[in-house]
Structure 1
Amino acid sequence: MTIHAGKLTDPAVRAFVSAVNAHDREAFLKLLTPDATMADDGSDRDLTEWIDREIFSSHGHLEVDRESDGGRAFLARYSNDTWGEMRTRWSFVVEDDGRISRFETGQA
């Protein structure tokens, strides 16, 4: 059963999923700390290059199936124009100011 983005527990994660699904790059970047980092399948990636390729230029979309870790981790069906749909896991480090300093994703 899919969890609607507006029902996700953590406000930063909720805004992250909403920005991805709205294809709103500006809103997405405002959620991140200036020095934010990310990893895909266990390897650190260039954040700007990755989000442009995997999310914004390829119409990425998240359907969250289950959240954990107080809303700072979830399992989802992720789809984009490049890879189609796959089961993915996501986890987030959210700072005291409510911005995301790191996220990690990969196939579940």
Structure 2
Amino acid sequence: MLQALFVACSSKTPPDSKIIELLFSADEKKNPDVLFKKVGNLDDDPELESFSLVRNGTEEVLGIFKKQKGEWYLLGKFSFSLLNIGPLHYDVSKSSWLPGESDSQKKKRVL
């Protein structure tokens, strides 16, 4: 009974505060916000890894974490700048923003 309670309480993903602590030093923090958490398996080890996407100022950071001996560890950190996303255009037919330039901007008008 006690073992079942322990398993139910153990988390598959680290808490948001731990994610932010492992990803950023005190001077790197720019109002970080955890946007997404997911678990998956990257290796032969049956223990799952946790993936977290965090927005921090003008960047988004993908962190990969693993729990070993009851502690969460950072396995990898990948940063993406939101300022360098490139050109976008709005496609009215799809009601969404799409990467690249629109076809109408590429065509030259012939009179």
TM-score, normalized by the shorter chain, greater than 0.5: no
Higher relative contact order (CA 8 A, sep 6+): 1
Q: Which has the larger radius of gyration?
A: 2
TM value normalised by structure 1: 0.41
TM value normalised by structure 2: 0.40
Instruction: From the two aligned structures, give the one with the greater helix fraction.
Output: 1
